[in-house]
Amino acid sequence: MKGGGLLRGYALLYLLFLYAPIILLPIFAFNSSTIIAFPLSEFTTQWFREIPNTPALVESVKTSLIIAVSTALLSTVLGICAARAGAKYRFPGKAPILGFIMLPLVLPEIIVAVSMLVVLLALGLPLGHWTVILGHTLICTPFCIAILNSAFANLDASLEEAAYDLGETAWSTFRLITLPLVMPGIVSALLISFTISLDEFIIAFFLTGTEPTLPVYLWGQLRFPQKIPVVMALGTILVAMSVTLLTFAEFMRRRGIAKAGRKDTGGFL
């Protein structure tokens, strides 16, 4: 009993340490004062109304959305191919190849960003949207593979064999049978990679061109104290959107496992 109480106390302290800054974010976003400190002043929605009236902020949001959508699509397509190959086929060097693809999960992002920057500059290639998309795809693809591995592993192979016996081709079987069954995992991978790309800062900071992404723009605005309330207002919106997307992604993942009739061994939430 004593050990259980200590464990619960540790868990509560850990959650408080982890989420206290996020809880303070909306509190100060609705505070009328430009000084981020207690006691609070009056309740206001002024900072939220100023967001669309800041052209540079709006442009950074558009840039981030373009990059995030492109990254999500590319990462998920690559993840489908890798997860499908890993779940169905046997080929020489399968384990090392898949391990190499998953390597960005354990590499520090600063190393990945600097390495890509050096290579791109050495090749004389200009920095822009596509370089950030390339970097984000590199780090998002392993997450997509991890999600889709579970979706393809839970797939009943007898369904595909039955389709082959009925005269379907490999492509039509994949399109009509396999793809609908793994669709919850695909949606989950799309949402996870979109969220990661939208929030990512280090790679975007090194590889962005003249049009910064939203995280890079927000970092630059922190040098101006009068801009911080607007930044916190936008941060509140981003946190709410990220939580919503991750919750929906987890819902789709569990739905896919339930649809396949398998046991859930853990997930994001």
What pLDDT is recorded for position 69?
A: 93
**Which of 197, 195, 209 minimizes the C-alpha distance to 242?**
195
Alpha-carbon gap, residue 134 to 95, rounded angstroms: 24
pTM: 0.76
Is 4 part of a structural domain of the chain? no
- Is 29 within a domain? no
pLDDT of residue 77: 92
Counting the structural domains of the chain, the total is 1
Q: Measured between alpha carbons, how far is 14 from 189 in angstroms, rounded to an integer?
A: 28
Q: What is the span of the domain harbouring residue 254?
A: 54-260
Could you tell me if residue 162 is inside a domain? yes
Could you give the 3-state DSSP secondary structure of residue 180? Answer: helix
For residue 159, the model assigns a pLDDT of: 72
**How far apart, in whole angstroms, are the C-alpha atoms of residue 230 and residue 12?**
31
Q: For the chain, what percentages of helix, strand and coil (3-state, to nearest 5) are there?
A: 80, 0, 20
Whether residue 246 lies inside any domain: the answer is yes
Residue 229: name the closest of 7, 1, 2, 24 by CA.
24
Is residue 46 included in any domain, yes or no?
no
Per-residue pLDDT 10s for the chain (269 aa) are: 555 678 888 888 888 887 777 777 777 777 777 666 677 777 778 778 877 777 888 888 889 999 999 999 999 999 988 888 877 777 777 777 777 778 888 888 888 888 888 988 888 888 888 999 999 999 999 988 888 887 777 776 677 667 776 777 777 777 777 777 888 888 888 888 988 898 888 999 998 878 888 888 878 877 776 777 877 787 788 778 777 877 776 776 676 666 655 555 455 44
Is residue 211 included in any domain, yes or no?
Answer: yes
Residue 35 falls inside a structural domain? no
The CATH number assigned to the domain holding 83 equals 1.10.3720.10
Burial status of residue 213 (CB atoms within 10 A of its CB: 0-12, 13-18, 19 or more): buried
Assigned domain for 266 exists? no
